[in-house]
Structure 1
Amino acid sequence: MSLESAEAEGTTPARSSSGVGYLWYQLRRSPLTMVGLGIIVVVLFIMVAAPWIAPYNPDKLDLLHRLAAPSLAHFFGTDEVGRDIFSRVLWGARTSVTVGLAIVAISMGFGTVIGAFSGLVGGRVDTLIMRFMDVVLSFPSFVMAMALAAALGPNLINAMLAIAVVRIPFYVRLARGQALSLRSKPYVKAAMSFGAPRVQIMRRHIMPNAMAPIIVQATLDIGLAILTASALSFIGLGAQQPTAEWGAMVATGRDYLLDQWWYPTFPGLAILITAVGFNLLGDGLRDMFDPRMRGR
């Protein structure tokens, strides 16, 4: 049965839930998820193609055309030193989205391993790890990220590391919950009874079967990571001039908001649209992987 005939008859094609075809079918059933996927595809294309599609060098100064309004020559206008804002927004996608992806990759990687180990081992080790994570979670996330970024020094790499450290406990708790559920499964008990090393059990049995909710959470977190990194840049703890980064551009442009509205507006819209895209895709993936949401 084809996907088209299945949709016409209101039935689901007989495919494995792990197949690419089934995944694509589920994505197509949600218009908002497709919108989010479309936004992400466009953003990723801009990241790759920025050197070729940007009409100007993002760092080129042109004092004769400083703070020029949007026009055919400069689609988004120019900034206080004549740099083309459209070009800087395109190049800023490389910086902002890469930082968001790196934050999620670091926090998900460390958090998943620690949480899976904690849930599998149990006992005092599990208690010690989780109490430490509770301490970290007791602080407001953004305040702690600001403190870490300020302690490490105001630059984009340190801001990225600070946000990643703050996000690790969320993945630890999620991975631990999955590990606690999976370690009671017969195949895990069989591996433990045969004396399989815990590292091997984690690698072969726990982590592969726990990744679905973790991937969903990671997709949702990318938008949050971009927003948080932009916020740190906005207050001067992230990207520094002349780096083309959306949060830093909004921070500089706020001084010109009343008279040159385009300066902070277009980088701010780029942050908003990208975050919405990842959130829409994350919501769609959550609905697909959570059986409780499928009937809605």
Structure 2
Amino acid sequence: MEVLSKLMKDRFAMICIAFLVIVVLAGIFAPWIAPHSPIDVNVKEKLAGISTSYPLGADQLGRCIFSRLLYGVRTTVFIAFITMAVTVLIGTVLGAIAGVFRGKIDEIIMRVCDIFMSFPSEVMILAIIGMMGPGITNIVIASIIAKWAWYTRMIRSIVLKYTDKNYVQFARVSGFSRWHIFKKHIMPNTAGEIAVLATLDIGSVILMISALSFLGLGVQAPTPEWGMMLNEAKNVMIIRPELMLPPGIAILFVVAAFNFLGDSLQGAFNVKHGTKRR
């Protein structure tokens, strides 16, 4: 309740939340909002300007840019949500096991994390996609493999911060199981800090998905995706440079909203540990 109260008082945080909710709803209800199919080609409307039928104009194949932008939420943003959710889940499970049980299992998990973290995440993602090939599924898998170790180590450090608290020690002396202690005392306190980590990092996942699609290694045509839209718009950049603005601005605003919201959550949860990402 205290955290919610702090967020309610933070107008900028509420603006970011409202904006992101609108974006998510636009993606969910895209079939009902979009005036055209995002993949149907209409050569007669090639490079059409802004009109009531085409609110943001049409691309070089006559496809509605506004419709593709709406459907792009489903690939760019929703895939980022899925990627982050799975990554955080793996990191939470392994980090909690390492932090609660410690000993040999902690050593094994941490040494494996050291191996994965010895490679720059961007290089690892490119290498994995190079081996597996481009595609939405491969982007998700590559991102999870590249990021799970960092989250495991960070969440382990968060868990360790609470395992030595007096109330946790009292529960342990009282005979409660480690699972009970983790569920009742540790997890509720760590959830806020994990949420801060995920919110601050989801913007980088969106940028990664868009960048890979822009390079032709991610989402493939004709699937609407913001990075892919930038890739297609660059082909007509000399005659119609404004076609790059809608997907570019969408990426900018969504990533900025997540970053600002993460900063607000960090202040609301009073998180003081470093949240710097690789």
Cα distance, 1:217 vs structure 2: 0.9
1:116 counterpart residue number: 96
Cα distance, 1:246 vs structure 2: 0.8
Cα distance, 1:72 vs structure 2: 3.4
1:209 counterpart residue number: 189
1:93 counterpart residue number: 73
User: Structure 1 stretches of 5 or more lacking a match?
Assistant: 1-18
> Deviations for 1:88-126, whole angstroms, at most 9, x for unmatched residues?
001111221111100110110000110111111222322
1:61 counterpart residue number: 41
Look up the SS of the partner of 1:258 in the other structure: coil
Given the alignment of the two structures, is residue 269 of structure 1 paired with residue 249 of structure 2, yes or no? yes
User: Structure 2 stretches of 5 or more lacking a match?
Assistant: 274-278
Match of 2:203 among 223, 229, 234: 223
Give the distance between the partners of 1:290 and 1:24, measured in 2 at CA: 13
> TM-score normalised to the size of structure 1?
0.85
Give the distance between the partners of 1:49 and 1:62, measured in 2 at CA: 23
- Report percent identity of matched pairs: 38
Give the distance between the partners of 2:202 and 2:24, measured in 1 at CA: 13
- Conserved? CA contact 1:96–1:226, under 8 Å: yes
Give the distance between the partners of 2:90 and 2:188, measured in 1 at CA: 15
Letter in 1 for 2:138: N
Letter in 2 for 1:128: I
Match of 2:216 among 220, 236, 239: 236
Judging changes above 3 Å, is the alpha-carbon distance between structure 1 residues 126 and 146 closer, same or farther for their aligned structure 2 residues? Answer: same
Cα distance, 1:196 vs structure 2: 4.8
> Deviations for 1:186-245, whole angstroms, at most 9, x for unmatched residues?
443344446655444433433232111101111112211111111111112211111111
- Conserved? CA contact 1:67–1:77, under 8 Å: yes
Cα RMSD over matched residues?
2.0
Correspondence 1:1-296 to 2 at 5 A: 19=1, 22-193=2-173, 196-290=176-270
Work out the number of aligned pairs and report it: 273
Judging changes above 3 Å, is the alpha-carbon distance between structure 1 residues 190 and 141 closer, same or farther for their aligned structure 2 residues? Answer: same
Give the distance between the partners of 2:110 and 2:57, measured in 1 at CA: 50
Higher alpha-carbon deviation: 180-189 or 271-280: 180-189
Letter in 1 for 2:187: M
1:5 counterpart residue number: none
Give the distance between the partners of 1:64 and 1:176, measured in 2 at CA: 58
Letter in 1 for 2:19: I
Give the distance between the partners of 2:115 and 2:195, measured in 1 at CA: 25
